[in-house]
Amino acid sequence: MIKTKKYGSLIIISGTTCAGKGTVIKKILERHNDIVLSISYTSRAKRENEKDGVDYYFVTKEEFKRKIDNDEFLEYAMVHYNDYYGTPKSEIIKQLEKGKDVILEIDVEGAKQIKEKFPETILIFIMAPSMEEVKKRIKMRGDENHEQMIKRFRSAYKEINQVNNYNYVVVNDDLNTAVSKVEAILVSEKLRVDRIEEISVENEEEFIHEFLMEKDFDNSKVEIK
């Protein structure tokens, strides 16, 4: 009876540094083959364990700027250490038109830009259980100097102040619980009334309904005294 819109949902997942948002997204993708991850472009250097076209599309700053000039990004920004990050436009629209839900893992500024262009975007913010835990995780990474770690920690405080711009917040104190909460959010969004395209009744059901209505309202045998 209820026909929902075929167009997929755009889902933004942001969070403080070291909140585990990447791991949460990975688990979501493993469990749901109707959800895809948008792969961002970046001008930063590829890390040892990263793969081009899987983690990011790695390009030079010159290539990135050409894509900006050609309006190929939904949003882009320069973050952390003068490196560009951008969300490709054409690939995302293609997936949404196929009815696929698309997850974007981007920062708060990028989320704001996309929300302005696509108001129906679902915004989810992932938080670590405490800032002390964030500090510990930054130190454990071991791939940054002291100054860089301080800068990343300060950025986390600024990002938390943007939580009110999001639809949902999930604290990642337990991975499985956090994943389940995100899944619950996505299910609830599918059940929103504004996701309904139309409500229709099959011919046979409509006939039975009309027949019963006529019987219920048949006053021919009612005696009035």
* Domain-embedded: residue 184: yes
Flag whether 62 is in a domain: no
Other CB atoms within 10 A of residue 94 CB: 12
pLDDT digits (tens, 9 = 90+) for 114-172: 999 889 999 999 998 887 777 776 677 766 676 777 776 777 777 888 889 999 999 99
pTM of this prediction? 0.76
Report pLDDT digits (tens) over 53-90.
988 999 999 999 999 999 999 999 887 668 999 999 99
Asked whether 160 and 127 are in contact (CB, 8 A), the reply is yes
- Residue 192 domain-assigned (yes or no): yes
Q: Exposed/middle/buried for 205, CB within 10 Å: 0-12, 13-18, 19+?
A: exposed
9 in a structural domain: yes
Assigned domain for 84 exists: no
> Is there a domain that residue 15 lies in?
yes
Range of the domain at 117: 2-35+103-216
Distance between CA atoms of residues 90 and 37, nearest Å: 14
Q: Find the farthest-apart pair of alpha carbons in the chain and give their distance in angstroms, rounded.
A: 95
Of 11-15, 95-99, 139-143, 210-214, the range with the lowest mean pLDDT is 210-214
Q: Where are the beta strands (DSSP E) in the chain?
A: 2-4, 10-15, 35-37, 41-42, 57-58, 73-79, 83-88, 101-105, 122-127, 168-171, 196-199
The number of domains in the chain is 1
Tens of pLDDT along 15-46?
888 788 999 999 999 999 999 999 999 999 99
- Domain assignment present for residue 70? The answer is no
CA 17 to chain centre: 17
Residue 59 lies in a domain: no
Beta bridge partners of 41: 57, 86
CATH number at residue 152: 3.40.50.300
Q: What average pLDDT does this structure show over 188-216?
A: 66
